[in-house]
Structure 1
Amino acid sequence: LHCDGVQAAGKIAIDIAALGADMLSLSAHKLGGPQGVGALVIRNELALRAVQRGGGQERGLRGGTENVPGIAGFGVAADAAGRGLVQMAALAELRDRLETGIAALAPETVFFGQGVERLPNTANFALAGARSEMQLMRLDLSGIAVSAGSACASGKVARSHVLTAMGVAPALADCALRVSLGWQSVPADIETFLSAWAEIAAPETLKKAG
């Protein structure tokens, strides 16, 4: 079993043994480290075939000179992220403040993942009638960068296959918005977003959009 832990690392505590996974992938840039550097945690008794021969580097699995600066940067970022886990509680409070504000503006908003264990820095929600592309354009004009899905699908305004798999109705999934918070996010950022989103949630805006 391979587990993609890229989004979780640095945001929630990861107990690899408790996961029961054979392999776990991590990425440095998600921790504030250099781009293009990753790690694969492998269960000790698992035997893998080399993907690139020619040397004994990386335990004989990938021959060639290691990216030493990248590895060092990854290590520093991972160490800092581990110490920074305590700050995630503050981010979760900001996220909850964001969702509370959204619900106050539009009580009919549907929030995905509420009430279950999830990342502390991300809110994913949908307001029926407010299509994702309309929201993205309006928020962009206000200087606010958000997305309709994961970074893997950036540049695309397409229905989330994850929401589809969760059984979310297509019409509602087409209205999904994802807001991510970061280390530098402050309460004022939440208020700025809510002020801009209030115009989107206004009945007259939704009427025009429909």
Structure 2
Amino acid sequence: HKVGGPKGVGALVVAEGLTGLEPLLRGGGQELNRRAGTENVAGIAGFGAAVKAALQTLSEDAEQVATLRNRLENGIRGIAGATIFSDEVKRLPNTVLFTAPGLKAETAVIGFDLEGIAVSSGSACSSGKVQPSHVLSAMGYDPAVAQGAVRLSLGWSTEPDDINRALEAWRKLGNTLLKS
């Protein structure tokens, strides 16, 4: 679904000669014994069409998303002493990870949600966990700083008005932080 295809369908790219992959479900010999069950043919076709369409506009879309991300980051930086993680290195164009002094990620998630903006307090693969990001810890950030990290993700459907709404929500949150 990250590329506009149906949810629940993806691809596994396996290096030639790689062995030892164990199926999550057993019972059938489909996909060279890597999975059991009947394939979701409509979903697979939808995923294939979405990938094909995404590849045709990939660099153009990435450039547009990066422009929006940079605008979002510039706006975030100007509020409550916010810091953008890894903004000085080459990275994916669609993700912003930031914090501010005294920011509690859980409070920020709730505050953004009340304004209709979906954010997360860490990476997608660690959602539901309350400990600070092991990646930020490995990068040398203090655990208290890492616990204030908030992630915003942009996508192919993100519009300039979405950035405006996110910045307005952050202004409200940041002003609350500054008062406390």
Interval of TM-score (by shorter of Structure 1 and Structure 2):
0.7 to 0.9
**Aligned counterpart for 2:72 among listed residues 92, 98, 104:** 98
Residues 48, 61 of structure 1: 8 Å contact kept: no
Over the matched positions of the two proteins, sequence identity in percent amounts to: 51
**Aligned counterpart for 1:167 among listed residues 116, 121, 140:** 140
Residues 146, 177 of structure 1: 8 Å contact kept: yes
SS at match of 1:193: helix
Unaligned runs of 5+ in 2: none
Give the distance between the partners of 1:69 and 1:207, measured in 2 at CA: 53
Q: What are the residue-to-residue correspondences of 1:147-166 with 2, within 5 Å?
A: 147-166=120-139
Residues 95 and 149 of structure 1: CA distance in aligned 2, closer, same or farther (over 3 Å): same
User: In the TM superposition, what is the alpha-carbon distance from 1:205 to its structure 2 partner?
Assistant: 2.9
Deviation digits for residues 93-152 of structure 1, max 9, x if unmatched? 00000111112224x322112122211011001101111112112221111111111233
Q: What are the residue-to-residue correspondences of 1:100-179 with 2, within 5 Å?
A: 100-106=74-80, 108-179=81-152
Unaligned runs of 5+ in 1: 1-28
Q: TM-score, normalised by structure 1?
A: 0.74
Higher relative contact order (CA 8 A, sep 6+): 2
User: In the TM superposition, what is the alpha-carbon distance from 1:190 to its structure 2 partner?
Assistant: 1.4
User: In the TM superposition, what is the alpha-carbon distance from 1:32 to its structure 2 partner?
Assistant: 2.2
Q: What are the residue-to-residue correspondences of 1:71-82 with 2, within 5 Å?
A: 71-82=44-55
Whichever residue aligns with residue 145 of structure 1, its letter is A
SS at match of 1:124: strand
Residues 109, 128 of structure 1: 8 Å contact kept: yes
Residues 146, 180 of structure 1: 8 Å contact kept: yes
Q: What are the residue-to-residue correspondences of 1:1-210 with 2, within 5 Å?
A: 29-48=1-20, 51=23, 52=26, 54-55=28-29, 57-85=30-58, 86-106=60-80, 108-202=81-175, 205-208=177-180
Residues 69, 154 of structure 2: 8 Å contact kept: yes
* CA-atom RMSD in angstroms: 2.2
Compare the two structures and name the one with the higher strand fraction.
1
User: In the TM superposition, what is the alpha-carbon distance from 1:191 to its structure 2 partner?
Assistant: 1.7
